[in-house]
Amino acid sequence: MNQSLLIIDAQQELIDGNEQESPIYNKGQLIKIINDVIGQAVKSNIEIIFVRDLDVAEGKGSGFEIHNEIIIPVGSKFFNKSATNSFYGTGLLEHLKNQNINHIVISGCETQHCIDSAVRTATINGIDVTLVSDGHSTKGNNVLEPKQIIDHHNVTLHGHYNVDNFSIVRGSKEDLFNPTHDTYR
């Protein structure tokens, strides 16, 4: 099983907020869980990939960088994106295909935008996904509170499939890099 950990938009300004934007929901817990999952990946010798959004902090400075409380292991890969979808115009899909990756674990921000699109796009492109149920977050919107959005996506994306590949949702305390997709097929 070839797999990668994909951490999306875990950037300083997105997580902490700024003058116009509020911080991400449950930011302390999110940072802790992302670090825990990174630790699991390191122990299992799993490639770690960070995706950064060029819209965050206008794509520059410390606000653009991965949050300063998140561990960045040596050898981590970075992809920058200019769209909601982490696979659009980034070379990420080509990288995963070249590495024969058939399972990715996803964590990061924001649930209803970049996390949702990455999960769905991966399954369309032949990659099974495990979404970390307590490892993604959002700022919410005018209709739903952050917790409602997170809970909704955890239910919606668990078992979401595109013919041969699909996503499951598991908690950060589970053995995320021992995928259970085959028990559902």
Catalogue all structural domains in the chain, each as residue range(s) with its CATH number.
3-183 (3.40.50.850)
Provide the token pair at 176: 């995320």
Phi-psi region of 74 (alpha: psi -120 to 50; beta: other; left: phi over 0): beta
- What tens digit of pLDDT does each residue of 80-116 get? 999 999 999 999 999 999 999 999 999 999 999 999 9
Query: What is the pLDDT at residue 185?
Result: 72
pLDDT score for 162: 78
Predicted local confidence at residue 30, as pLDDT: 98
What DSSP line would sit under 39-101, residue for residue? HHHHHTT-EEEEEEETTGGGG-HHHHSBPTTS---TT-EEEEESSSSTTTTSSHHHHHHHTT-
Summarize pLDDT for 27-77 with one digit per residue, the tens: 999 999 999 999 999 999 999 999 999 999 999 999 999 999 999 999 999
| pLDDT tens string 138-147 | 998 989 999 9
The pLDDT of residue 83 = 96
CA distance 123 to 130: 10
pLDDT of residue 78 exceeding 90: yes
Task: Bin 26: left if φ > 0, else alpha if -120 < ψ < 50, else beta.
Answer: left
Tell me the β-bridge partners of 79: 51
pLDDT band at 182 (very low <50, low <70, confident <90, very high): confident
> Percentage of residues in the chain with pLDDT exceeding 70?
99
Residue 184 has a pLDDT of 79
Question: In Å, how far are 59, 81, 93 from 149, measured between CA atoms?
Answer: 26, 23, 26
- Residue 3's CB is within 10 A of a number of other CB atoms, namely 23
Name the residue with tokens 């809970």.
151
